[in-house]
Every structure is written in C-alpha cells, then in structure tokens.
C-alpha cells in the first residue's frame, strides 16, 4: 500500500478544491501525536494510490454525497407487465411501489 504523509493544515486549506473529500474511495488517517495525515485513494483495493495534493479532476470519482445504487433501488417503483393486456400503453403494465416490492422484502 502506498501512502503519503502531509501536513493536516495544508490539507484543510485546499479542501474547497479537493474532490477526494466527497469521494467514496478516499481514505485519510490522522495521527494524534504528530498531527500528520496519511491520504490515499483506494479505488483499486490491492493498490492504493498516494495523493500528493488536492485532486481537481478524477476519472473514477464517486460522489458519496449522492445516493448509491442500493439506496436508489429502494426508492424505485417497479414496472411489471400485465397478464391481461398486451401492448405498450399504461394498461399493459402494473406499477409496484417500493413498499410492495417482493425483491426488497427481507426474510425475517
């Protein structure tokens, strides 16, 4: 694993321009005794990327302030084909709210 130790004050001053602070893959470890911080990107689990400074653009950025696939799936309505009618109109499909979806029910 690659790491870089940087000054905590420098990281805080650059926080307004740093994409990493809102990314799922960013890891920061601050040591209490030395006030040093290790910053790394763990996009590839076996090989973390050392961060030399604030990141302004990233091809693998995943915003953790927005809901992920699982959270969005829990909110989504399912559309099931109707067995009574054939076609593309609203009569040929059934809308199922999240509270009635069988794929979201837990086996408890």
Contact between residue 14 and residue 7 where contact means Cβ atoms under 8 Å apart = no
DSSP codes of every residue in 10-77: HHHHTGGG-GGGGBTTEEEEE-TTT-EEEEEE-SSTTSPEE--S--S--TT--BTTS--HHHHHHHPP
pTM: 0.50
Taking a C-beta distance cutoff of 8 angstroms, is the pair 54, 18 a contact?
A: yes
Residue count of the chain: 108
Provide the pLDDT confidence category of residue 82 given band limits of 50, 70 and 90. low
**Burial class for 14, CB neighbours closer than 10 Å (0-12, 13-18, 19+):** middle
User: Domain map of the chain by residue range?
Assistant: 5-50, 69-104
pLDDT digits (tens, 9 = 90+) for 33-58: 888 888 889 988 788 888 888 888 88
Report the candidate in 27, 46, 24 with the shortest Cα–Cα distance to residue 38: 27
Read off the pLDDT band of 92 (50, 70, 90).
Answer: low
């Amino acid at each position: 694993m690659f790491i870089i130790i940087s000054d905590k004050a420098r990281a805080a001053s650059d926080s307004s321009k740093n994409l990493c602070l809102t990314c799922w893959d960013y890891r920061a470890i601050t040591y209490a005794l030395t006030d040093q911080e290790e910053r790394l990107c763990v996009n590839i689990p076996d090989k973390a990327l050392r961060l030399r400074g604030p990141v302004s653009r990233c091809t693998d950025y995943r915003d953790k302030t927005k809901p992920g696939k699982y959270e969005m799936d829990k909110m989504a309505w399912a559309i099931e084909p109707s067995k009574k009618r054939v076609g593309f109109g609203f009569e040929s499909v059934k809308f199922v709210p999240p509270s009635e979806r069988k794929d979201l029910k837990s086996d408890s």
